[in-house]
Each structure stands twice: as C-alpha cells, then as structure tokens.
Amino acid sequence: MYAIEINSLTKKFQKLTAVDNISLKVDEGEIFGFLGPNGAGKSTTMMILTTLLKPTSGVALVSGFNVVSQAKKVRENIGYVQQEISVDEYLTGRENLQLQARLNHIPKNQIEKRIDDILELIELSEKQNQAVISYSGGMRKRLDLAGGLLHHPKVLFLDEPTVGLDIQTRRRIWEYIKTIHKEYGMTIFLSTHYMEEADRLCNRIGIIDYGKIQVIDSPQTMKNALGNEVIVFTFENQNEKRDILIDKINEIEFVKEISKKDEQVTVFSSKGTEVIPKIFQLSSNYGIKIKSISLTQPTLDDVFISYTGRELRDDNENYNQRREHAKMMRLK
Ligand SMILES: Nc1ncnc2c1ncn2[C@@H]1O[C@H](COP(=O)(O)OP(=O)(O)OP(=O)(O)O)[C@@H](O)[C@H]1O
Ligand SMILES: [Mg+2]
C-alpha cells in the first residue's frame, strides 16, 4: 500500500485551474516534497489530501482511504500543519498542546505523557508554561509542528514549514523535522518554495508549476540528469552572431543543455573541463569576448530553471505581491 496515491486530480476555482490533472504515489515512510513558486497549487493539493477541500475530479487515497468518501478515516490517520502558524498566543505552550490533544481525541490518560515527550523532542520543555506571545517565530513553528504530531499520525502534512523564518531558524526546523521522522517513522508530505529545504529533507521531489507536475524524482537524480557540471559565463561584447554562437556551443560534445538569461549563459555539461576551451575557441571565431566564466556543480535551482524556464526566488520580500501576480497570470 502507498501512503498517498493521487490519480488525475484536478481542482478548479471558477475559471482558474489550481491543480491540473496531477498523479503521484508516495511510499510509506518517505519524505516527499512539493516544490513550486507562489500560486503553483501546493496548498490546494494539500487541502484536498487533508479533506478540507473537495476535488473537482480525480481520486486521492491517503493511508488507503479515499479523501472524499472516507474523509473521517483519512483525518484519523493524518497530521496537518498549515502554512500559517495556528497556535494561540495567549495560551502557554503546554495549554496549546492540551487543546490539540483534546481536538484529536487522544485518550485522557495518555495526554500528559505524550505532551511531555513531544516537548522534549522539540526542545520546548523549559518554555512550556510561558504564554506563546513571548515565543520567537521559530519556537511558535516548533510548537505548531508538535501539535500536528500528538496523535502519532501515519502521514504528516507540512505546508511550507519554514516560510517567513530566517535562515538559521529554518535550518533548526529542518533538524527537528528530521528528528521527528527518525523517531516516528511516519510519511511526510511537505510543500516548499525553498530549494535548499527540498534538497535537504526530501527523498523525492515533485516540481509543480501552474498546477501541473513537471517532474518527480530524487534531488540527486534530477541534478545528475543535467550533467555533473554547470558552466556559467557572460560576454564582454556581443554582436548579431551571439545566437549562432550559442547554437554552436550547444553542439559541442558533452553539452547536455544550454539556457540564457539576460547577459548570462548557462551550460550543463558532463565534462566541463573539455567544454570550456571549446567555448573560448568558438567565441573568438565569432568575434565575441567572454568576460567571466565559472564551473560549478548543478543545484536544484538549476533543475528548476531547466524545467520551468524561471528562477525560484529564495526571498520573502514581495511575497504577497508575487502571489497576486501569479494569480493574475493564471486568469489570462
Ligand atoms: N479558495 C480559492 N478561491 C479561488 N482561488 C483560489 C482559492 N484558493 C487558491 N486559489 C488560487 O489557486 C492557485 C493555487 O493556489 P495555492 O494556494 O494552492 O498555491 P501555493 O502553491 O500554495 O502558493 P503559495 O506558495 O503562495 O502558498 C492560486 O492562483 C490561488 O490564487
Ligand atoms: Mg501555499
């Protein structure tokens, strides 16, 4: 049995297709990540899988249960930590967890022990009796994570678990997620628009854009598919032959793929050291000078660009603006 099985799932909001015919399977115990930009359809998919939204068409099973016809069974087997932090600021950490425990129908005689265990796991035992309003963003998120774990779910859904947190806090949360996974061995389905997060945490990743899955694979396989080296260069001067030159570079042996953006050309290759001299030679044939050139390993960023033609920005600035923009683009 799969932990999650999705077949031709589609969700429409009036004219907008937020989730567009996606299919995928997640193994038990796997950490699977949905990687995609604002408005890609990550939260919508997750809300369908957690029974909060009904699909327009298609079928999804979680822990073997149908998310529409067996919604109650699904809810018993899952934990869901939403994109927005949902702890109550005026209660203490412990009181928040007690509330969660009661909402999840945990047997009364087990509640306090489970809370003790989870507080220790997320290292909040010392702060447990303080009001959450005194907690930092990272501590709130950890408490939020703990709330989703109290009933020992088989499948844990984490929607953008570190969005809006600074990089140090984000790294710490990653460590907690790994600890939780090791301790409980549950399946984790998370969504993110941070490359590094997907790369560090996930066994497999699905790149989602405009509601569609572009590719599903392990981060390493995705990176390897691009060749094991990336050459990035910029031109000092250019002429009308630039595009011909780029086509010629694409024909060099060991070049797997090439993309250009403004001044910068990126070449994915399996043997960078052999390709670089040829790039210099070709460009001098066409009277074009190269200003700078570098050789690196491919990152998940490169993978994303190669599948979507766009960059996935790692900043929180203009978050809402980009979200709105993504929406407008989809309505055209
Ligand atoms: N209830 C709704 N009614 C109408 N449109 C919606 C609704 N919920 C989501 N959408 C739209 O569906 C698309 C997908 O949204 P979704 O929230 O699933 O994206 P996301 O990948 O989670 O993005 P983000 O990174 O911004 O959280 C967006 O264009 C969004 O505006
Ligand atoms: Mg979202």
pLDDT digits 0-9 by tens, 276-301: 999 999 999 999 999 999 998 877 77
Question: Does the beta carbon of 291 sit less than 6 angstroms from any atom of ligand 1?
Answer: no
SS3 per residue for the chain: CCCEEEEEEEEEECCEEEEEEEEEEECCCCEEEEECCCCCCHHHHHHHHCCCCCCCEEEEEECCEECCCCHHHHHHHEEEECCCCCCCCCCEHHHHHHHHHHHCCCCHHHHHHHHHHHHHHCCCCCCCCCEHHHCCHHHHHHHHHHHCCCCCCCEEEEECCCCCCCHHHHHHHHHHHHHHHHHHCCEEEEEECCHHHHHHHCCEEEEEECCEEEEEECHHHHHHHCCCEEEEEEECCCCCCHHHHHHHHHHCCCEEEEEEECCEEEEEECCHHHHHHHHHHHHHHCCCCEEEEEEECCCHHHHHHHHHCCCCCCCCCCHHHHHHHHHHHHHC
Q: Is 44 in the pocket of ligand 1 (CB under 6 A)?
A: yes
How high is the pLDDT of residue 2?
97
Boundary (domain end) residue, out of 170, 185, 218 = 218
Q: Is residue 203 part of a domain?
A: yes
Cβ atoms of 53 and 11 within 8 Å: the answer is yes
CATH code assigned at 235? 3.30.70.100
Whether 323 is in a domain gets the answer no
Does ligand 1 lie within 6 Å of residue 298's CB atom? no
Say if residue 153 is in the same domain as residue 246.
Answer: no
Q: Are residues 180 and 278 in the same domain?
A: no
Reported as a pLDDT band with limits 50, 70 and 90, residue 232 is very high
Is residue 330, in this structure, part of any structural domain at all? Answer: no
Assess if residue 266 is contained within a domain: yes
Asked if residue 42 has its Cβ within 6 Å of ligand 1, the reply is yes
In a domain, 10, yes or no: yes
Smallest-distance ligand from the CA of 48: 1
Which CATH number does the domain housing residue 184 bear? 3.40.50.300
**94 and 187 together in one domain:** yes
Ligand 2 mean position, distance from CA 104 (Å): 24
| Residues 132 and 158 both lie in one domain | yes
User: In terms of residue numbers, what domain contains 30?
Assistant: 4-218
**Token representation of residue 92:** 């203490």
Residue 249, domain member (yes or no): yes
Task: Indicate whether 164 and 231 sit together in one domain.
Answer: no
**Domain final position from 199, 218, 237:** 218
Q: What is the pTM of this model?
A: 0.82
Does 130 lie in the same domain as 46?
Answer: yes
Q: Is the pLDDT of residue 197 over 50?
A: yes
Residue 17 lies in a domain: yes
Mean pLDDT of 117-146: 92
Instruction: Give the Cα separation of 141 and 311 in Å (integer).
Output: 27
Ligand 1 binding pocket mutation candidate from 12, 42, 158, 212 (most atoms within 8 A of CB): 42
Task: Output the residue whose Cα is nearest ligand 1's atom 24.
Answer: 38
Q: How many domains does the chain have?
A: 2
Cβ–ligand 1 contact at 40 (below 6 Å): yes
- Give the gyration radius of the chain's Cα atoms: 23
Which residue's C-alpha comes closest to atom 11 of ligand 1?
18
Looking at the structure, do residues 207 and 238 belong to the same domain, yes or no?
no
**pLDDT-based confidence at 316, cuts 50/70/90?**
very low
Q: What is the mean pLDDT of residues 181-196?
A: 92
C-beta 43 within 6 A of ligand 1: yes
- Is residue 77 within 6 Å of ligand 1 at its C-beta? no
Same domain, 207 and 258: no
In the reported structure, the alpha carbon of residue 305 is separated from the centroid of ligand 1 by a whole-number distance in angstroms of 22
269 alpha carbon, distance to own chain's centre: 26
Residue 289 lies in a domain: yes
